[in-house]
Each structure stands twice: as C-alpha cells, then as structure tokens.
Chain A
C-alpha cells in the first residue's frame, strides 16, 4: 500500500510526460491526485504494513505530513487544471519588463508535478534516513522545472539559485547522515542500520560530539531546504517567480517535508537525551528566522515575496515550537497543518490577483474586494489567519506555542516571539489591506470569464482554515499527540 503511494504518482508522471492530448493528461493528473488522497486517507483507517524491510513505514508524523501533502496536491491540481487552461488563452507578455515569453511544455510541467508528489510522499514515509535524503534531493530536482515554468530570465535565475543552494544544503545533510552513522555506531565499531527506529533505540550510547556535528549538519542541510534563515535565500526568489500553483505546493508541502528531516534528527536527539542541545539550536534558528522574516516583510513591495518571507517566519515558528518541547511540540505539529492550509490558500489567491492586476507590486493593487469579491475576501481571511488572529487555525497553534514558552519559563523567547509576531502583523497588514480595500485602479485587466475552480479551491482551503480554528477533530488531536510524543 505504501509502495503504491509512491509508485502511482511516479508512474503517472512518466505516462504524463508522453501523453499528447491536454485533456487526457489533465484527467490523468486529477485522477492521480484523487486516488492518492483516497489512499492516504485510507491509511488512517487501516495503518499500512511496512514495506522494503521496514524502510517505508508510516508513523504518526509521516502519516500527517503525507496526508496533508496529498490533500494540498489535490487542491493544487484542481486549481492547476483551470490555471493551465487560462495560461493557454492569454498571451505571455512579462508583467515587469513587458517582453514576450513562452511557457514550458505542459506535459513536462504535469510530469514534474507528479514526480514532485512522489518524491514528497517518499520523504514522508521513508524510515531510512539515507533514503529520506535521496527523496528530499529528488524533490529539489522535480520542483526546479516547476519554478522555471515561465521561460524567462527571472524564473531561470530563481530556478538556478534554488538548484544550487538547495543542492549544497542537501549535500551537507548527507554529510550529516554519515556523521550520524558514526555517532550511532556501537562501541565495537559495528554500525546500526540507518533506520529511525533503530537509531532511537540505540540512542542511549550516541557519541555526543559526533552526534552534535551530525545534528548541526542536518539542521543546516534540511534547514536550507526548509527555509530557515540565513539559509532561506532561495525561497523568496523561487516563490515569487514560480507559477502560484507551484508556490503553493512549495510553501504548503515541500517545506514541511524538509522540516520532517529535521524532526527525524530531533527524535533521535530526544531519545539520546541530547534534547537540551538540539532545542537550543532550534530555538536560535527559529527566532532568527522570525526576525529575518520580519525585517524583509516590513516595507516589502512584492506581495508574493511577502508571502514567501511569511513562510520563512512560520518555519521559524515551527522550529521554536519544537525547540521549546513539551506542549509546544503539539502546537508546532498543529501549526504545520494550519500554516500549510493558510499559505497554500494565500498563494492561490495571489495567483488570481496576479492574473487580474498583472503586477506583483502591492502598491499597484487596490480594490480587490470589488474586482474579485471571493478572492478579495479570501485574501483578507488569509491575512488575518496567517497573522495569528482568532478565529482561524494558526491562532490556536501559535497560542499553544506561546503558552508552552511561558509555562516553561522561557520568558525571553516568549517576548521576542510575540514582538516579532506583532511587527510582522503590522507590516503585512498595511499592504495587504490596501490591496483588498479601496477603489480599483484603471489598469486592471479586463476580466475573462475565469474558471470556477480558481476561486472555489482557495475558498475550500479558507473554510478549512476557519474550521481548524474553531474545531480540531479529536482524531486529529490524537494523531498530533502521538506525533508530538516522540519529539519530547
């Protein structure tokens, strides 16, 4: 069953690459996404048997990430199909410099989407760290073409930076994994297999200096991919240049997968009683990321970059949450879900705004509420949700983390955390509100009859965000507790 989760999208990707007719390919994409989602939901009913001698298995954490990924992917697909149709229609003249450009072949785009899904699923379900590494690297390679969908120099630059920086980071992560092998090897020199399970059970005689080095490398490596400052440098470029569907998947799904890499290391560190050390690092990078995000959000003129930096901020929040330990971990895992849903919705809405206003400069967008009522409302919902105000999901998770911080007496952390959240809220609200409200300028593109999905999909996500804010399903809570348990 687990194998299916990976094989289906992968093979679908290969097929999609060769299918000529757009209709068939789109049907294939949608059906794959539906099947994938159905399967991953099924894993909640019957937990699947481990495959490949236990290399592939679903623990609570993996299942959460995997399901979240497939659901977001499903949403993204419905949006993407509509989006691709739109793309067919309009001529591609660049918003900023006005030159004409073409798009990549839709076939390869679709294929890469599917490979991307396969890779991310593999990340979520692989218990073998080296395999997990391979999967993460695979996500990079699969998603780079998505960023370079619009064939012009900016997107190329973004793709190049993404490739290079992430590859460097991932290489370091691999070094970290090797260090982990050394750190975990038994006193007699024989090393334990790189399975999370074994590593955790053998954690009691970890070699501390080696493990610390390993953790540092893994943190830097996967942190690069996850977008922790100061390794986040690829993130704003990639998110602002990629088509919004891709941005949504990058922010909503990919970052979580990278985060999973760090969580695996954290599991081991907790099991090895080295939590004090790893928590400190996570806290530092979490707060730094929030700070950097605050710095670059304030005065940010490009609203897609603004959303990208907000992703950096929320990755920071996740790191802080895990670093705090205890109830905060629960909050962090909950925040993974909330952030993914909210941010995905925001990027999809941003895509709609971009299509109508044909600019990424928030100063040139106004009156979205009157031009695109649904998207405008969702944009505001997203703004309030992502800045952590009730009654939306992120409030609950961020509050939980804050509560834990204060309960553990981490006053300094709590103060910095709240201050940065306030600053970011103030900085995001000004441009975002100005975009939604006011009267639309004259340059607004004449509205073509836009596909329903383009506003329905984000609307559904928005509703989900609201629901997560006023009702957390007990089954989910249980899964979250289970997942949080292994992380201390």
Chain B
C-alpha cells in the first residue's frame, strides 16, 4: 500500500514538472487530467482497508470531473481560442523548471517542519501536496495565456485537494462535494471568461489585460 501511495505522490510531482516544462497547451491539460485521476486513486488508497461507499464514490466522482470533464471543457476553450502552445512565457521554461526545483526544496523543508501526527502513511504527502500548489502558482505567475493560468489554478487546487484527501478523510461528504462543485463552477466561469477574452481581443494573451493600473499620472 505504502509503495502505491509513494509512487502516486512521485507521479504527482512529475506531472507538476511536466506542467512546468511543456509549452504545448494540450500537454499541460493532459498533465492536469492525469493529476485529477491520480488524486482519485490517492484518495481511495489512503483509506487503507475499510472502504465505505462514500469513501469510494466521492473520490471516483472527483476523478471523473477532474480527469475528464474539466479537461474536456479546457480543450473546448482551447479550440475556441484557437491556440495550441504557450509562446514566450514571462520566464523561460528552464527557469520555471529551476523555480519548480526550488519549490520542491521549500515543500520538503515545510514537510520536515510540519510533521503529521500520528505519522501518516507517507512522509512525502505534505511536500508533494504543497509542491503541486506551488507549481500552480508558478504557472499562473509565469505564463501569458489565460488558459494556462486556469491550468495553474487547477494545479493549485489539486495540491490543496491532495492534502485534503490525505488528512481530512473525515470531512463530511457534503463539504467535499461543495468543494468539488466550486472548482467545477470556477473553471466553468473562467472558461466563459476566456471565451469572452478571446472574442474581445481575438486571442487570450493576458498582456492585453493591462489597461487597469496605477501608472504615474
């Protein structure tokens, strides 16, 4: 079991790097999709042995939403905005990978500082979750395309969710559903926004979205 969990977490980290390194949006979306599925599996495998209906049903549904529904939405948005790759991000891909490495370091330090008690199944859990969130922020902060930023936001959410599924098993199902719903609606609304952006500016580079600022008058 523990091996499974660890390997899932490692995969989670790897998808994070994939998200950071790949310039093709489709690849990034896939990375997010994989993360979604991984999280579902993780959530199930965390509750060692005693499987409850809810305990299985909910992770499955979330896996479905995160692994398939959202990616589908995003692909549609991509097609509407007919853009395939993130050209010249604010910082180069190498640099963002280095940033990712740094993020990994920070996450490990944090995991060392914040010990779960009693020891959870994997000491990798906290670092991996935190790393995924940081990757999400790095992506948002370093990419130009609105779509990529949504992906970043999803990665952030995945990180949070990974942590949640690990420690907060006992979160009431209602809350979990609420959270899931929120993520879904969030992405949905953002998708609409992206649609409007692409219609307004006929592309989705956010560097056109800099009209509002406090420049020296």
The reply, when asked whether chain A contacts chain B directly with Cβ atoms under 8 A, is yes
Question: Residues on A close to B: CB < 8 A?
Answer: 128, 130-131, 133-134, 137-138, 140-141, 144, 148, 152-154, 156-161, 163-164, 167-168, 171-172, 174-175, 178-179, 181-182, 185, 187, 189, 191, 193-194, 207, 209-210, 213, 236-237, 240-241, 296, 299-301, 305
Inter-chain CA distance A460–B2, complex, in Å, is: 65
B171 touches A209 (CB 8 A): no
Q: A168-B156, A174-B160, A175-B133 are in contact. Are A301 and B217 (CB under 8 A)?
A: yes
Inter-chain CA distance A163–B117, complex, in Å, is: 36
A160, A174, A181, A236: the one within 8 Å of B179 (CB): A174
Q: Does B186 interact with chain A (Cβ within 8 Å)?
A: yes
B163 touches A175 (CB 8 A): yes
A167 touches B186 (CB 8 A): yes
Within 8 A of A (CB), among B101-119: 110, 113-114, 116-118
A137 touches B217 (CB 8 A): no
**With contacts A167-B153, A172-B133, A178-B164 known, what are 20 further pairs, Cβ within 8 A?**
A131-B174, A134-B179, A134-B181, A134-B182, A140-B186, A141-B186, A156-B197, A156-B209, A164-B149, A164-B190, A182-B114, A182-B167, A187-B117, A193-B170, A209-B113, A210-B114, A213-B110, A236-B214, A296-B214, A305-B214
**B209 / chain A contacts, CB cutoff of 8 Å:** 153, 156-157, 160-161
**B200 / chain A contacts, CB cutoff of 8 Å:** 152-153, 156
**A182 / chain B contacts, CB cutoff of 8 Å:** 114, 116, 167
**A157 / chain B contacts, CB cutoff of 8 Å:** 209-212
Inter-chain CA distance A171–B187, complex, in Å, is: 13
- The proximity string for B residues 169-180 relative to A, scoring 1 for CB distances below 8 Å and 0 otherwise, is 011101100110
**A161 / chain B contacts, CB cutoff of 8 Å:** 209, 212
Tally of contacts, chain A with chain B, CB under 8 A: 122
**A187 / chain B contacts, CB cutoff of 8 Å:** 117
A131 touches B168 (CB 8 A): no
Inter-chain CA distance A382–B50, complex, in Å, is: 62
Interchain residue pairs A-B with the least CB separation, the first 8: A134-B178, A130-B175, A237-B212, A157-B209, A137-B182, A175-B160, A189-B118, A171-B156
Min distance, Cβ B104 to any Cβ of chain A, angstroms: 17
Nearest-neighbor residue (CB-CB) of A53 within chain B: B172
Nearest-neighbor residue (CB-CB) of A97 within chain B: B211
A209 touches B167 (CB 8 A): no
Q: A130-B179, A164-B153, A171-B153 are in contact. Are A209 and B114 (CB under 8 A)?
A: yes
* A–B Cβ pairs within 8 angstroms, 12 of them: A130-B178, A134-B178, A141-B189, A144-B189, A154-B211, A154-B212, A156-B200, A159-B193, A160-B206, A163-B186, A178-B168, A181-B171
Nearest-neighbor residue (CB-CB) of B171 within chain A: A130
**B163 / chain A contacts, CB cutoff of 8 Å:** 175, 178
Inter-chain CA distance A237–B213, complex, in Å, is: 8
Inter-chain CA distance A226–B172, complex, in Å, is: 27
A164 touches B140 (CB 8 A): yes
B118, B153, B185: the one within 8 Å of A168 (CB): B153
Nearest-neighbor residue (CB-CB) of B177 within chain A: A134
A171 touches B157 (CB 8 A): yes
Q: A130-B178, A168-B137 are in contact. Are A153 and B160 (CB under 8 A)?
A: no
Min distance, Cβ B85 to any Cβ of chain A, angstroms: 21
Inter-chain CA distance A472–B189, complex, in Å, is: 42
Inter-chain CA distance A171–B212, complex, in Å, is: 25
Min distance, Cβ B49 to any Cβ of chain A, angstroms: 16
Min distance, Cβ B25 to any Cβ of chain A, angstroms: 17
Nearest-neighbor residue (CB-CB) of A174 within chain B: B160
Inter-chain CA distance A182–B168, complex, in Å, is: 8
Question: Residues on B close to A: CB < 8 A?
Answer: 110, 113-114, 116-118, 133, 136-137, 140, 146, 149, 153, 156-157, 159-160, 163-164, 167-168, 170-172, 174-175, 178-179, 181-182, 185-186, 189-190, 193, 196-197, 200-201, 206, 208-212, 214, 217
**B214 / chain A contacts, CB cutoff of 8 Å:** 236, 296, 300, 305
Nearest-neighbor residue (CB-CB) of A160 within chain B: B193
Most buried by A among B133, B209, B210: B209
Min distance, Cβ B84 to any Cβ of chain A, angstroms: 21
Nearest-neighbor residue (CB-CB) of A134 within chain B: B178
A153 touches B189 (CB 8 A): no
**A133 / chain B contacts, CB cutoff of 8 Å:** 179
B212 touches A158 (CB 8 A): yes
Min distance, Cβ B81 to any Cβ of chain A, angstroms: 13
**B210 / chain A contacts, CB cutoff of 8 Å:** 157
Nearest-neighbor residue (CB-CB) of B199 within chain A: A156
Min distance, Cβ A42 to any Cβ of chain B, angstroms: 27
Q: A131-B178, A156-B196 are in contact. Are A168 and B117 (CB under 8 A)?
A: no
Nearest-neighbor residue (CB-CB) of B116 within chain A: A182
**B208 / chain A contacts, CB cutoff of 8 Å:** 153
Min distance, Cβ A43 to any Cβ of chain B, angstroms: 24
Inter-chain CA distance A128–B172, complex, in Å, is: 10
**A130 / chain B contacts, CB cutoff of 8 Å:** 171-172, 175, 178-179
**B160 / chain A contacts, CB cutoff of 8 Å:** 171-172, 174-175, 178
Inter-chain CA distance A160–B174, complex, in Å, is: 29
**B170 / chain A contacts, CB cutoff of 8 Å:** 191, 193
B149 touches A153 (CB 8 A): no
Min distance, Cβ B37 to any Cβ of chain A, angstroms: 20
Nearest-neighbor residue (CB-CB) of A299 within chain B: B217
Inter-chain CA distance A177–B190, complex, in Å, is: 24
**A156 / chain B contacts, CB cutoff of 8 Å:** 193, 196-197, 200, 209
Min distance, Cβ A416 to any Cβ of chain B, angstroms: 22
Nearest-neighbor residue (CB-CB) of B193 within chain A: A160
Most buried by B among A154, A210, A305: A210
Nearest-neighbor residue (CB-CB) of A52 within chain B: B174
**A154 / chain B contacts, CB cutoff of 8 Å:** 211-212
